[in-house]
C-alpha cells in the first residue's frame, strides 16, 4: 500500500511537472530538471516519513521491553519489522524509478542525436540538390 502511495505521488509529481503550462516556453531539459527536482522533494518527504515511523515503532518496542509487557513487545516487534520492510520496499521503488528516469533520458538523448543526424543529412541532400539546380541553371544560361 505504501509503495502504491509512493509511486502515485511520483507519477502525480511527474505529470504535474510535464503538464505545467507556463506562458514561458521551457526546453525539454528545463522540464526534466523540474521533474527531477520534484521527484527529489517527494523522495525526501517520503524518506522523512518512513524514518519517523521506524523511530516511533522502535520507541514503542523499547517502551514495551522496559515495561516487561511481552504481548506489547511482540506487537511492537512486528510493527517495527513491517516499518523496516516498507522502508526497504520504498528504497527499491525509488531506485527503480531513478533507473527508469535514467533509461528514459538516455533513450531521449539517443533519439535526439538520431533525429539531429537525420536532419543534418536531409539538409545536406537539399543543399546538394540546390547546388545541382544552380549548376543546371548556369549551364542553361550559357547556351
pLDDT at 23 over 50: no
CB burial of residue 46 (10 Å; 0-12, 13-18, 19+): buried
Asked if 87 contacts 50 with a C-beta cutoff of 8 angstroms, the reply is yes
Q: What is the pTM assigned to this prediction?
A: 0.52
Q: Per-residue confidence at 10, pLDDT binned at 50, 70, 90?
A: low
**How much is the pLDDT for 1?**
55
Give the DSSP letter of residue 68: T
Give the DSSP letter of residue 74: H
Cell numbers for 63: 517502551
Measured CA to CA, the distance from residue 42 to residue 13 in angstroms comes to 8
Measured CA to CA, the distance from residue 42 to residue 36 in angstroms comes to 10
Residues whose CB is less than 8 angstroms from the CB of residue 39 and which lie 6 or more positions away in sequence, other chains included:
10, 13, 14, 97, 101
Q: In this predicted model, what pLDDT tens digit does every residue of 45-80 receive, in sequence order?
A: 888 888 998 999 899 999 999 999 999 999 999 999
- Domains along the chain with CATH numbers: 2-117 (1.20.120)
Show the beta-strand stretches assigned E in 4-143: none
**How much is the pLDDT for 67?**
92
Amino acid at each position: 500500500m505504501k509503495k502504491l502511495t509512493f509511486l502515485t505521488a511520483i507519477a502525480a509529481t511527474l505529470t504535474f511537472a510535464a503538464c505545467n503550462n507556463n506562458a514561458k516556453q521551457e526546453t525539454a531539459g528545463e522540464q526534466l530538471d523540474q521533474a527531477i527536482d520534484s521527484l527529489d522533494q517527494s523522495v525526501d518527504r517520503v524518506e522523512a516519513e518512513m524514518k519517523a515511523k521506524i523511530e516511533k515503532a522502535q520507541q514503542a518496542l523499547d517502551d514495551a521491553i522496559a515495561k516487561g509487557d511481552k504481548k506489547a513487545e511482540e506487537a511492537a516487534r512486528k510493527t517495527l519489522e513491517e516499518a523496516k520492510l516498507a522502508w526497504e520496499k520504498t528504497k527499491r521503488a525509488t531506485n527503480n524509478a531513478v533507473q527508469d528516469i535514467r533509461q528514459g533520458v538516455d533513450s531521449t538523448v539517443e533519439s535526439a542525436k538520431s533525429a539531429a543526424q537525420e536532419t543534418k543529412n536531409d539538409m545536406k541532400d537539399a543543399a546538394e540538390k540546390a547546388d545541382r539546380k544552380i549548376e543546371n541553371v548556369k549551364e542553361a544560361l550559357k547556351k
